[in-house]
Chain A
């Protein structure tokens, strides 16, 4: 997919996020939007996945360790063809398969159930280890939040990945700098994130703008060349990116837009699309 198409797709993914959260009247738009470009790059450029064969044993895997940003994953999966985009507004509704947090049993394309923070990276390590044991070539991607890495289990998993030299594992930290209670540095400072992962024997790639497709492309391409080490991409992003009133606002971590705000958000995204 060329850059322009990727950018257009990222806008579609963002529209899906806002529409899903509006339909749910609840959910987490901020961190879904900050990672929208990462979701888009992974599902439309990077990963070897097939919507017609979502359980292919040779596919690349993705674990959304920051599971509350399910709207971002669901929108990417829907736009990629795993299920109808029209289903996105049923998010969190009783009877919908689109559960509040990723549910591998009911949602096509979801490789691991997640939502309880800190647990996804361990599962990703297990998938990467299985790939090594079976001598398969698939890669495993795991998206963590910069608040999420306050969970101790993340560092148990990081230690394991480094110790086992899981070079088929690529961790991405969505470094949007905000968590529910405020800036991550004020709540319980996780910085320096890059040096921490380096100390756990990761190859670390810092991305100055994780909402920029060129920078993401260069990071993911470098990641694939690394041998004998897992990779961590620390992507600086903007929480709420693309929706004017949500950008860098901690209040939009876990809140749905009302009808008026939804209209404004969609109009913001239309303008972005038109400018491409």
Chain B
């Protein structure tokens, strides 16, 4: 990626998208748990102060309040760090939102290892795993600014619970193409390739693209697929990759157990057995450090992905 490419953290895009759609969706309300400045919902708050509710440091209560608001026709977005929105909140989300299938959107920011300096206590690596076990829950992890805004719009249009994980790390904007189309449950082939397939989600997608370029220099033609919707997952695009390329590599900045790696492996194992390698956080907690240093250490930046794949080829 060249340096001129615009970079924006998907959490910023999330806050901007809420403000952008506030007019069009008068029932949209945004709830925070004392993190409006960090989750970037303060942009919405400034524009629509009456429709922004700060619940204080009480994520479980915020979640239940959103459930109650949804029963009365509101479209609540609850915002917090993924650690609290999905982790601390799991059972409230399951029972007060998932079980009654209420129209609540969970805007989980600061997901994954790229939380950075705050360290392991705040790095939610298990949120994808937790959220995708809830029946009827849509799980989305957008890769850049354009995709985050499209995902927010899709969430507003969908009647049902929706979990969206965004990141603190600045992501290059690469989906600003005229033919870009966001469709829930549909993966996007960013680069075709015949040798192997790299399936990535969220901030890892741009690194996967870079790694594919490095692999091509070595004569390895890698297909790159962006899976923005982890649930319901695009089975067709995965099965096709399993049939047409020799190996599949999944990449995420989350636990591979239960995360994208598991989701892809489940499809491959059941529909078209093939070799899958899951790159991501293995069975360890994260640690403090800048997000870029952490991605380097855990081999989840472009070079790290390239190195890991080279070893496994």
Contact = CB atoms under 8 A, between A and B. Distances in A.
16 contacts: A119-B64, A119-B92, A121-B64, A122-B63, A123-B96, A125-B64, A125-B65, A127-B71, A129-B68, A130-B69, A130-B71, A130-B73, A133-B74, A134-B72, A159-B58, A163-B56
A126 B67 contact: yes
B100 A105 contact: yes
Interface of B is mostly: helix
B262 to A, nearest CB: 26
Contacts, number: 106
A144 B71 CA distance: 19
B61 A122 contact: yes
B29 interface: yes
Interface residues of B, number: 30
Interface in B81-113: 91-92, 95-96, 99-101
Interface stretch (B38-46, B47-55, B250-258, B268-276): B47-55
A156 interface: yes
Nearest to B31: A126
B60 A133 contact: no
A48 to B, nearest CB: 15
A131 B61 contact: no
B68 A126 contact: yes
B55 A160 contact: yes
Given A105-B101, A159-B56, A122 B72 contact: no
A106 to B, nearest CB: 10
A113 interface: yes
Interface string A83-125: 0000000000000000000011100000111011001111111
A160 B56 contact: yes
B56 A126 contact: no
A115 B100 CA distance: 12
Contacts of A124: 68
A123 B68 contact: yes
B66 interface: yes
